[in-house]
Amino acid sequence: MKFSLGKGGEVKVVQIFKDAEQVEDAKKLYAYLKENELFKGNLGEIHSQISYTGDKVLLVGLGEKNKLQADNLRTVYFKVGKELMKS
């Protein structure tokens, strides 16, 4: 999923369920964060890797896969919007 806001350019948002073994996008970043216990995929957890010269990626935790609800997504993407406004 990609978002474009104003002049900031594109940011790839990678959705990750809690304790996922691997992801399709941002594989190296996720592997590093998981190995060092810096990101677990808890509901609403966000890690941003945003620079002016490189890839712009936002990892978003969705919590446990079997407990995901529409209201949880609304809350998570509200946080995503706030994070993107900071960038």
CA dist 45 and 63 (Å) reads 8
Amino acid in the structure at residue 33: L
- Both tokens assigned to 34: 């998981």
Using alpha carbons only, what angle is made at residue 72 by residues 6 and 65, rounded to the nearest 5 degrees? 115
- Using CA atoms, how far apart are residues 77 and 23, in angstroms rounded to an integer? 19
Query: What pLDDT score does 21 carry?
Result: 92
Q: What is the pLDDT of residues 1-60, one digit of tens each?
A: 665 555 557 889 999 999 999 898 889 999 999 999 999 999 999 999 877 767 789 999
* Domains delineated in the chain: 2-86 (3.40.220.10)
Residue with tokens 């960038």: 87
73 compared with 51, residue with greater pLDDT: 73
Tell me what pLDDT residue 84 has: 85
Give the span between the Cα atoms of 22 and 54, in whole angstroms: 22
Q: What is the pTM of this model?
A: 0.81
